[in-house]
Amino acid sequence: MGIMDFISLIAPYAQKIAKQYNILASLIIAQAIHESNWGKSKLAIEGNNLFGIKGSYEGQSIVLKTLEVNKGEKVYVDAHFRKYPSWYESMEDLARLYKNGVSWDRNKYQSIIGENDYKKAAKAVQAAGYATDPNYANKVVTVIESNELAKYDRQTESYLLHNHTPGYLTAADAKNNKNATGTVESGEYYIYKKNSGMLNLSSKAYAPGSWINPNFKGTSEIVHIVKAGDTLTKIAATHQTTVKKLQQLNKIKDVNVLSIGQKLIVAKESQYYTVKSGDTVSNIAKSFKTTVQQIKLFNQLHDFNKIYPGQKLRVK
């Protein structure tokens, strides 16, 4: 998993938590990066524990050897660390620590709550005794600045698209309703940019997507634009349909004749599901009589184990 993959995976979690607990998303993301080595630490992989928090979570823990100092000597001992269902719970657990403090000092991390300056927030974490490394705050700030994480502290504007709408490469094309490159399906999106009343919608925060004309009346059809190498069999598999249905929807007589740029109707409607606590992609797929691979493909999931409550997934 690459650097940007890790950030794009945990940033939505951090923003959701930031909004709920009034803690900077950039701080949470940077700490996760610094403490888990970009999600590559053994604890992050085997226990979904990004911050090295010890103990158990809902009765679940993982035992790993850790270096500690005993009577002046460095020794390795077995320690129990919290094991989480996903990275989301790990990040929320850190937020709860900051909000609720510890049993002997409930206000231990209160200076972090509501702080809007990431440099001051990082210093507050260190000053509260969260880490013993005297350079911890500086390291966290460096991670924030080198990866431009401060942008995640700005809550993005969302947009609920009620109908399937043509997608375009430019705002001008969207405004003139010409040169559509595909279909933007109904669902909730982030607004990446606005231009002359047109909207650039994306399924990922701070990433460009497709331009749409919000005044378009909408359609219940999902369209696929034929690309080089496409076949009806391949298109049918991608959109979880059959070659026969594609032929019927598009009045195709010869299945071997397709043109690059050709618009094919692949479905009349799509279906979405909102993830609940305890859900897995496997159980969701079973409920909707589909496959894990299909849901992963529909939603461009890098890791189908990393879903979170409130997330909207296309299932049909």
CATH (domain of 141): 1.10.530.10
pLDDT digits (tens, 9 = 90+) for 84-141: 999 999 999 999 999 999 999 999 999 999 998 999 999 999 999 998 888 999 999 9
Residue 37 falls within a domain, yes or no? Answer: yes
Number of domain units in the chain: 2
Examine the domain organization and report whether 148 and 287 are in the same domain.
Answer: no
The last residue of a domain, from among 104, 136, 153: 153
Residue 193 falls within a domain, yes or no? Answer: no
The last residue of a domain, from among 120, 137, 153: 153
CATH (domain of 293): 3.10.350.10
Burial 192-205 (b: 16+ CB within 10 A, else e): beeeeebbbbbbeb
How far is residue 88 CA from its own chain's centroid?
A: 10
pLDDT digits (tens, 9 = 90+) for 191-221: 888 899 999 998 876 778 899 998 886 555 6
112 phi-psi bin (left φ>0, alpha ψ -120 to 50, beta other): alpha
State both tokens at 27: 């701080």
| Biggest distance spanned by C-alpha atoms of the chain | 82
Tell me the pLDDT of the chain averaged across its residues: 87
Residue 177 falls within a domain, yes or no? Answer: no
Residue 195 falls within a domain, yes or no? Answer: no
Burial of 287 (0-12, 13-18, 19+ CB in 10 A): exposed
Residue 280 falls within a domain, yes or no? Answer: yes
Residue 181 falls within a domain, yes or no? Answer: no
C-beta of residue 122 within 8 angstroms of C-beta of residue 29: no
- DSSP secondary structure string for all residues of 271-313: -EEE--TT--HHHHHHHTT--HHHHHHHHT-S-TT---TT-EE
- Residue 268 confidence (pLDDT) above 70: no
The model's pTM is 0.55
The last residue of a domain, from among 153, 177, 211: 153
pLDDT digits (tens, 9 = 90+) for 76-99: 888 899 999 999 999 999 999 999
- Residue 267 confidence (pLDDT) above 90: no
Euclidean distance between CA atoms 14 and 26, whole angstroms:
8
Examine the domain organization and report whether 10 and 141 are in the same domain.
Answer: yes
Q: Give the range of the structural domain holding residue 301, as residue numbers without chain letter.
A: 272-314
Examine the domain organization and report whether 280 and 144 are in the same domain.
Answer: no
Residue scoring higher pLDDT (266 or 206): 266
